[in-house]
Amino acid sequence: MGKYNWEEIKSQIELGKYTLKEIAKIYKPEGTKLKIAHDYIRQKKKNENWEKQEETHKKYTEKVTSKLAENEADKETKMRQEYDKMISNIRRLIYKTLLQERNTDRLRQCKLAIQALKDCRKEQWEINEIQEVAKKFEQELDINELPDINLVRGGDGGS
- Provide the whole-model pTM: 0.37
Q: What is the pLDDT of residue 152?
A: 45
Q: Are 28 and 37 in contact (CB under 8 A)?
A: yes
**Virtual CA dihedral for 151, 40, 25, 159, nearest 10 degrees?**
0
Q: Which whole number is the average pLDDT over 44-73?
A: 77
Q: Which SS3 state, helix, strand or coil, does residue 65 take?
A: helix
The dihedral through the CA atoms of 151, 154, 158, 159 has a sign that is negative
138-157: per-residue pLDDT in tens? 766 665 555 554 444 444 44
Classify the phi-psi angles of 136: left when phi > 0, otherwise alpha if psi is within -120 to 50, otherwise beta. Answer: alpha
Which residue did the predictor score with more confidence, 146 or 80? 80
Closest CA to 27 of 6, 55, 42: 6
Q: What is the pLDDT of residue 73?
A: 80
Q: Is the pLDDT of residue 14 over 50?
A: yes
83-135: per-residue pLDDT in tens? 888 888 888 888 887 778 778 888 888 888 888 888 888 887 777 777 777 77
Q: Which SS3 state, helix, strand or coil, does residue 51 take?
A: coil
